[in-house]
Amino acid sequence: MPTRTAAQRRAEAGAGYDAYLAECPARQLLDRIADKWVSLSINALADGPQRHSDLQRRLASVSQKMLTQTLRNLERDGLVARTVTTSVPARVDYELTELGYSLLPVMRAIKGWAETHMDRVHDARLSYDEVHRAS
């Protein structure tokens, strides 16, 4: 059997992913990136490295615990890098990795779509509620 490179092995493994299957790793990744705090964090980090406190201010209403959990998950998935600078107090910055930047156009598109179409969605919700309230 010929020796395969790591890239070839990854390509072969990736060919077997099917996000419609419950246990598929791609489905688990979709679950992760569909989270609102993930989407907003990635969009916020597009402007460059930021401290936890800066991100928390930017992402109105996110709790410290939720932001920390989100950033850890993104770091684990290779989408965000965490850099600690030794100083008093220590400085911790978060920034998108190359992989994180590759996801950015999708996240920007989703955010933009939501902002552009919110009035229509709001109207649809009102119409739906009106019809179903009468039933």
- pLDDT, tens digit, for every residue of 86-127? 888 888 999 999 999 999 999 999 999 999 999 999 999 999
As a whole number of angstroms, the distance between CA 52 and CA 68 comes to 8
| Residues contacting 73, CB < 8 A, separation 6+ | 32, 38
pLDDT tens per residue across span 41-97: 999 999 999 999 999 999 999 999 999 999 999 999 999 999 998 888 888 999 999
- CA 4, distance to chain mean position in Å, is 32
pTM above 0.85, yes or no: no
| The residue to which tokens 């919110």 are assigned | 118
Question: Cβ–Cβ contacts within 10 Å for residue 50, how many?
Answer: 17
